[in-house]
Amino acid sequence: MLIETEATPNPATLKFLPGRPVMEVGTRDFASPEEAEASPLAEALFTLGDVTGVFFGRDFISVTIAPGSDWRDAKPDVLGILLDHFAANMPLFRTASAGFSVPAESADFGDNPEDAEIIEQIKDLIETRVRPAVANDGGDIVYRGFDQGKVYLQMQGACAGCPSSTATLKNGIEQLLKHYVPEVTEVRAV
Span 79-95, pLDDT tens digits: 999 999 999 989 899 87
pTM of the model: 0.73
Q: Give the pLDDT confidence of 10-40 residue by residue, as tens digits.
A: 889 999 999 999 998 888 999 999 999 999 9
- By residue count, the chain amounts to 190
Residue 160 to residue 37: CA distance in whole angstroms: 20
Q: Give the pLDDT confidence of 144-184 residue by residue, as tens digits.
A: 889 889 888 888 876 776 667 677 777 788 888 998 999 99
Residue 165 to residue 133: CA distance in whole angstroms: 13
Indicate if the alpha-carbon torsion angle 76, 63, 21, 39 is positive or negative.
positive
The pLDDT value recorded for residue 79 is 95
Q: CA of 150: how far to CAs of 53, 68, 78, 108, in Å? A: 28, 36, 39, 13
